[in-house]
Amino acid sequence: MFKFHSIATKLLFETLLIVGISLVILNLVWINFVLPQKRQDLAQIQLHTAMHAQDKIKDFVFSRQKELATLIEIESFSDLPTERKNELINLILKNDTVVSEIDFLDKNGQELIKISRLRFFSPEEYQNKFNTESFQKASLGNAVISPVYFRDSVPYLSISIPIYDIGRVFTGIVNAEINLSSLWDVFSEIRPSANGYAYVVGEDGILIAHPDLSQVLKNQDVSSRFCVARVLAEMKECSGTEEEASYINENNIEVFAAGVPLKELGWAVMVEIPKSEAFSSINQILRFSAVVIAITLFWVVVISIWYTRRIIVPIKQLEKGAQTIGKGDLNYRLMIKTNDEIEQVANSFNLMAQQLKDSYDMLEKKVDERTVQLTEQNRLLSGLRNLDQAVLSTLEVDELSQIIVDLVYKELGYMFGTIALITPDGKYLRRIAMSRTQNEKLEQSLEIVPIPFKKQLVPLTVTDNALIRAIRERKTIVISKVYEMQKGLFTPDVSEKIEKLLNIKNMHIYPLITKDKVIGIIYYALTLEKEISNVDQAIMQEFANETARALNQALLYQDIKKDREIISAERNKLAVALSGITDAVIGVDLKNNVVIFNTAAQKLTNTSEKEALGRSLDQVITLFDEERVIPLSEYAPIKLNSFEGVIFNKKNVKLIAKDRQAVVDVITGKIKEGVSINLGSILVLHDITEEKKLEEMKLDFVSMAAHELRTPLTSLRGYLSVFMEENKKMFNDEQAMFLNRMNISASQLTSLVENLLNVSRIERGVFTINLEQIDWVSVASGIVDNFQGRAKDRHIKLTFQAPKEPIPKIYADKLRIDEVLSNLISNALAYTKPNGSVTIAIEKSGNDVITHVIDTGQGIPKTAMSHLFTKFFRVSGALESGSKGTGLGLYISKAIIDMHNGKIWVESQVDRGSTFSFSLPIASKVQNGQEKKV
Amino acid sequence: MFFLPITSRQEGFSRLQVLTAVFVIAAIGAILFAFNLSNSFNITNPLKKTPPKRIAILTASDLQLTAVDGIYAGLAELGYKEGVNVIFNVQNPKGDRELTKKMATEIAASKPDLIVPVSTTATKAVQEAVKGTNIPVVFVDVGTVSELGILDLQRPTGNITGVGTDSTNVAGKRMEILKEIIPAAKTFGILVNPKHVSYEEIKKVHEEAADGLNITVRFYNLTSKEELMQVLQTIAKENPDGVMTTTESLLSANAETIAKALVQAKIPSIDFNEEKGVNAGYLVFYGAQRFDTGKQGARLISKVLKNESPNKIPVEFSTKLRLDINATLAKSMGVTIPQSILRRANKIL
């Protein structure tokens, strides 16, 4: 299709546009200039035509008037007899068809003769026309032409000729009626142009003559037409050059009109030319100029095509040449001889091609040089790539080393390479691998050496060995003598033999350094033929670097492997240990899913390892503290910190697992590596179900025994005291003493039984207290008073130290607290030597009331302190011997104080005394009348 | 030459481009032409053929054939050619009044572009037939236009216009001429068809003229050919001083018979029919020149064919009359034609 962006198209269209527009503008300017001129000319023609028509009308009317007058005069009309008059009139009518009627009036205006072409008038129809304007005027002696009048729409005028007798006496007039409709015949011949015509307008503006008779018969009033109005009004010609002179006529055609007056009759003679016709000649010229424009444009196209071809063909050659040169044919030369700018461009192209060719040649040379370099580099890259593959293929140091040194021979093209690594103890450099080549001499050289290759250990202490130097100095060392690197291994003669055998030129020793640590060396042996370039050096260095990295990885791998084996062994040991221990061990991950579940755990929960592993711990076991379910978050909290140690510790926990119940002591621990190895915590569950059962049984027995003992004891004591009271005077001292001892023993036994019952209650959880508000100070002082007797017996000073500030009331079970304080005082008296003192003091501390029992007794050894409040515990040694307790008092006291939300504690120094203290909350803190159960 | 086929696109313009350029020029040329031509001429495209206009002409009898010739001649002068731009369909009922009506109906049914009735009878029939259609009518040679019911002759209503002859009124003139030839005449016989559409008008005109001329008129009624001989015998028997014919096709059709009978009865006569008249054996003819009337009608026909509404074309009247004298016959009949008449005559046999 069209290429709008081609020069040819652009040139063609732009030229067409410019030329076309220019021609059209020229044409328009010309039209503008010519039109007014043309209009002037036309107006002249119209006026001429109008004048011609004017002449014709004058001829039409006045010639008739003249002829009529002449005829009448010649014939002496008035003197003729009537018959002759009739005959004459009929002759006129015959000869002039325009005359429709002729009347003869006598001097009095009476019609005497009236002859029409069409009809017969009888004398009865004759009229007197004396008073008519035409008669009056004519009677004055002049021929009169009447104004135009219409009958049956036909315009008429009458010509009145006065008649005189021989004596020049007025005898009447002859009146001839002229049918003006015949004028159309006259006017149809008067034509200013093919479609133009003339017409006549009467003095009152009505159309009276027109080539189209119908227009006349319509009796049209055309006085409104500009030129008509002007001519009728001014009786002057209207040239029609005015703008208003053109109008749309009755046939709906726009016309130009011009007119001249017919002064004698007061008429206007008009000439109309259709506007289109008026300018038809101009249009012809325009048509001609259109043809000229078309031809011109045609030639413009032709010339454009020819000219653009002249331009385009060389341009296309240029384009083709540019493409040819662009494709690489730099020997191509453009042969354009246009002797203009295009030729200059072509020459520039040729010059450019030449310069390109020169540049290209030079570039080729550089490329060759660069190719050699690239080949060398490729060698390195290839070696390195293979090295990478080797690293991927194995992590065994010996195998990897062998592959690397083989690459030195195969890929890098050196005679051979050797890797030696520092032994793990850091004392020796040991050869690990040497290139396997096709070179037999290399094999022979190995046979020459006295020590097998892999056993060639060079102590790092050998300072003048080149290999050791390379390690120490951490730099590349190039040697030409083999012995330099075999010092400390062989004698010089062995080295010399090898050197000669292998024809070694020099050896490049590179330390293998990775992460700033030297792990060994690699050396490359080069023959005499081989030239060493910079690239070679770079290759060797890079290769050494990569080797160091790869071998380091392999060494690390070896270490890891070893560590793993150790870990594996540890794990196995642990597994054996876990399965062997009697406590259940459960490990959970960081999501509390079971990951360790030992044999004991399986047994405890009656759940197999398979069932337990992977499940959430709370799906495997449920722990209860009394009746409360211990949430998982409490006994196995997830702690993502590096905390290590016990995180939960609780005894006597009820465990329900599957269909099994047990009582366990739970210890949850965590290790700091837990987070990294996905080990949340480890639970150790010590099964105390059996112990508990035994305890129950023991308690049951004790309880039962105590109950069974209490009844006979009560009666024994009752009877004994009655017996003693009643027979007091019967006994001698010895008997009294026995009885008294019996009584004391019975009391002790009762006390023991009571204590045992209390312990049993505490253990079973049925020990209750009944809280009430009590004034502790008065209660306490009363209790102290009760012990004054015993204190006196033992020569101990028992003091109740009154508080310095008022002590608020406390909530407590009066009896139980009494028991606690009594117990403490009793103990203090028991363990205090005579002349010692026991002091009871009460103080308020915060929201608590603290009661101290301070003695100056023998004190409690440190080792006993922690067991002091456990049941059946009695301090051994001196203390034990002096006491008569059951080992249950403090245990019960603690239980009571605990139930009061208080605390009991002891401070003691051996040989100095002890202070037992307990705290009780003041009254406002606890509600009245509460009952509490342990 | 650069117009020769260009084989390669690289050589400059493609043939398509050249063709397109030529097309562009042609388009510019066409635009310029159109611009000029539309402004300058109202030229009808010669290539655009309009179908020829169909004109139906209905006469009442042979009497009007001269007028029809005038129509042909007039249209030819105005550039119409039969078969090219006009097609004529001429129907002639030869004086049969019923047939005239039938033909008028048939013509209207054929929906021509224009109907041209010639004569008052034909025009009345056509007027009846075109009721309810919009076929324009241009009548020719209507002796009594007032009979057509046209109120305003300048702006005729009813899609009709035409050329009248006023021949009915001319009857008075004819009587005047006959009296002039026979100054002693006392009685004139008038041959008339009481069935003529303008019978009353005809009668009135004759009676008025007779009054002015001191003549007694006797009307001899003739409604069919069969009555003719009887009527002629009656005339011969009663022997009026002169006989006048009236515009009636029955009379035209039998002009020769009537003229001959009148000559035998030595009764001078004046006829209204230009064609027949003196040629048929009447003594005098005075009346319209039907050929000219036809030509005058052709002008109006042309206007209507150019789509001018008949209502905008005023009714015209033919005023061209002629006087023919059969002097030879007069001599044989012993009638002396006055010089005054002979001088006025357009034709003397």
- Over residues A534-567, the pLDDT tens digits come to 778 888 888 888 888 888 888 888 888 888 899 8
- Tell me, yes or no, whether B232 and B149 share the same domain: no
Residues B218 and B271 grouped into a single domain: yes
Q: Is A912 helix (H, G, I), strand (E, B) or coil?
A: coil
Shared-domain flag, residues B330 and B184 = yes
Which of B35, B154, B319 minimises the CB distance to A217? B154
Calculate what percentage of chain A has a pLDDT beyond 70: 97
CB-based contact A297 B29, cutoff 8 Å: yes
> Does residue A459 fall inside a structural domain?
yes
What SS3 state is found at A804? coil
B180 and B77 within one domain: no
| Residue B5 placed within a domain | no
Same structural domain, A650 and A783? no
Substitution target in A118, A150, A183 with the highest count of B β-carbons within 10 Å is: A118
- pLDDT classification of A925: cutoffs 50, 70, 90: very low
Most confident of the following: A232-241, A335-344, A507-516, A856-865: A507-516
Q: What pLDDT shows up at residue A3?
A: 53
Q: What is the pLDDT of residue B34?
A: 55
Q: pLDDT by residue (tens digit) across A375-390? A: 877 877 887 788 788 7
Which one has a higher pLDDT value, A775 or A931? A775
Cα-Cα-Cα-Cα torsion A158, A159, A165, A169, nearest 10 degrees, comes to 90
Mean pLDDT of A489-518: 85
Structural domain tally of chain A? 5
Query: Per-residue pLDDT for B5 more than 60?
Result: no
B135 lies in the same domain as B208: no
Whether A847 and A861 map to the same domain: the answer is: yes
CB contact under 8 A, B312 and A218: yes
- Greatest Cα-to-Cα distance within chain B, rounded to the nearest angstrom: 115
Q: Which domain holds residue B217?
A: 168-287+322-348
The predicted pLDDT at position B217 comes to 92
ipTM of the complex: 0.79
| Residue B127 falls inside a structural domain | yes
Residue B222, domain member (yes or no): yes
Residue B328 and residue A76 in contact, taking contact as beta carbons nearer than 8 Å: no
Whether residues A682 and A704 fall in one domain: no
Contact criterion met (CB < 8 Å) for A293 and B32: yes
Structure confidence at residue B14 (pLDDT): 61
Determine the 3-state secondary structure of B72 from DSSP: helix
Q: Indicate whether B183 and B300 sit together in one domain.
A: no
In a domain, B38, yes or no: no
pLDDT band at A581 (very low <50, low <70, confident <90, very high): confident
When mean pLDDT is compared across A704-708, A826-830, B290-294, the lowest value belongs to A704-708
Per-residue pLDDT tens over the stretch A69-95: 888 877 778 778 888 888 888 888 888
Q: What total number of domains does chain B contain?
A: 2
Question: Mind telling me how many Å the CA of B29 is from chain A's nearest CA?
Answer: 5
**Both A772 and A890 in a single domain?**
yes
Residue that is last in its domain, among A255, A278, A301 = A278
Between CA A885 and CA A870 the distance in angstroms is 13
How many residue pairs bridge chain A and chain B with CB atoms within 8 Å of each other?
159
Residue B143 sits in the same domain as residue B189: no
Taking the C-alpha atoms of residue A860 and residue A868, their distance in angstroms, rounded to an integer, is 9
Q: Would you state the pLDDT for residue B41?
A: 45
Residue B138 pLDDT:
94
The DSSP secondary structure of A314-367, one letter per residue, reads HHHHHHHHHHHHHTT-TT-------SSHHHHHHHHHHHHHHHHHHHHHHHHHHH
Shared domain check, B194 and B105: no
For the record, the structure tokens of A447 come out as 């046979």
Taking an 8 Å cut-off on Cβ atoms, the answer to whether B41 and A313 are in contact is: no
Across the strands, what pairs with A157?
A178
Note whether residue A440 is domain-resident.
yes
- What are the structure tokens assigned to A226, written together? 């500009």
Nearest-by-CA chain A residue for B286: A118
**Averaged pLDDT score across all residues of chain B:** 83
The enclosing H or E element of A810 equals strand A810-812
User: What pLDDT digit, counting tens, does each position of B316-331 carry?
Assistant: 888 788 899 998 888 8
With CA atoms as reference, the chain B residue closest to A87 would be B340
3-state helix, strand, coil in chain A (%, to 5): 50, 25, 25
Whether residue A660 sits in one domain with residue A537 = no
Q: Is B247 exposed, middle or buried (0-12, 13-18, 19+ CB in 10 A)?
A: buried
* Judgement on whether residues B159 and B305 belong to the same structural domain of the protein: yes
Confidence of residue B27 (pLDDT cuts 50, 70, 90): low
Spatial separation of the C-alpha atoms in residues A701 and A498, rounded to whole Å: 99
Residue A96 belongs to a domain with what CATH number? 3.30.450.20
Digit-coded pLDDT (tens) for A675-692:
788 888 888 988 888 888
Q: Mark whether A724 and A790 lie in a shared domain.
A: no
Any domain includes B27: no
Looking at the structure, do residues A509 and A623 belong to the same domain, yes or no? no
Burial class (CB in 10 A: 0-12, 13-18, 19+), B50: exposed
User: What CATH number does residue B156 fall under?
Assistant: 3.40.50.2300
**C-alpha–C-alpha distance, residues A242 and A387, integer Å:** 111
Half-sphere exposure of B309 (CA within 13 A, CB side): 9
Q: Which residue in A733, A836, A857 sits closest to A791, CA to CA?
A: A836
Residue B45 has pLDDT above 70, yes or no: no
Q: In this structure, what CATH number is given to the domain that contains residue A847?
A: 3.30.565.10
Which residues in B lie closer than 8 A to residue A297 (C-beta atoms)?
25, 28-29
Q: Where a domain ends, among A235, A259, A278? A: A278
pLDDT at A166: 78
Instruction: For residue A357, tell me if it sits in a domain.
Output: no
* Residue B30 counted as domain residue: no
User: Do A836 and A787 belong together in one domain?
Assistant: yes
Test A309 with B213 for CB contact under 8 angstroms. Answer: no
At A720, list the tokens.
């004994």
Please report, for the domain that includes residue A526, its CATH number: 3.30.450.40
Same domain, residue pair A659 and A699:
no
Residue linked to tokens 């010519």: A34
Return the structure tokens found at A798: 């028992």
- Please check whether residues A857 and A714 belong to one and the same domain: no
In angstroms, what CA-CA distances link A668 with A580, A587, A628, A636, A657? 19, 9, 19, 7, 18
Q: Do A682 and A719 belong together in one domain?
A: no
pLDDT of B10 reads 43
Residues B67 and B156 in one domain: yes
pLDDT higher than threshold 50 for residue A934: no
Inside any domain, residue A343: no
Residues B293/B318, Cβ–Cβ less than 8 Å: yes
Neighbours of A464 (CB within 10 A): 9
Q: How far is the C-alpha of B248 from the C-alpha of B272, rounded, in Å? A: 9
Are residues B64 and B173 located together in one domain of the fold?
A: no
Q: Do B212 and A279 touch (CB under 8 A)?
A: no
Do the Cβ atoms of B212 and A121 come within 8 Å?
A: yes
Please tell me the predicted confidence (pLDDT) of residue B123. Answer: 92
Give how far B225 is from chain A: nearest CA, Å. 30
**What pLDDT score does B278 carry?**
84
pLDDT at A926 over 50: no
Instruction: Find the range with the poorest average confidence among A284-288, B159-163, B231-235.
Output: A284-288
How large is the average pLDDT for residues B277-295?
Answer: 87
Residue A699's domain comprises 694-762
Give yes or no: residues A532 and A664 share one domain.
no
Q: What is the 3-state secondary structure (H, E, C) of A264-282?
A: CCCEEEEEEEEHHHHCHHH
Task: Identify all chain A residues contacting B13, using CB atoms and an 8 Å cutoff.
Answer: 8, 305, 308-309
> For residue B223, is it within any domain?
yes
What does the alpha-carbon distance between residue A483 and residue A469 come to, in Å, rounded to a whole number? 14
CB contact under 8 A, A122 and B154: no
Are the C-beta atoms of A342 and A315 separated by less than 8 Å? yes
pLDDT per position as a tens digit, A146-188: 888 888 788 899 999 888 887 788 888 999 999 888 887 777 7
Same domain, B73 and B184: no
pLDDT at B47: 44
Q: State yes or no: pLDDT of B21 exceeds 80.
A: no
Q: How far apart are CA B62 and CA B64, in angstroms?
A: 5
Residue B15 pLDDT > 90, yes or no? no
Instruction: Please tell me the distance from the alpha carbon of residue B119 to that of residue B140, in angstroms, as a whole number.
Output: 6
Answer yes or no: is B48 within a domain.
no
Asked whether the beta carbons of residue B314 and residue A217 sit closer than 8 angstroms, the reply is yes
Encoded tokens for A470: 């390379």
Contacts of A477 (CB under 8 A, 6+ apart): A466, A469, A470, A508, A509
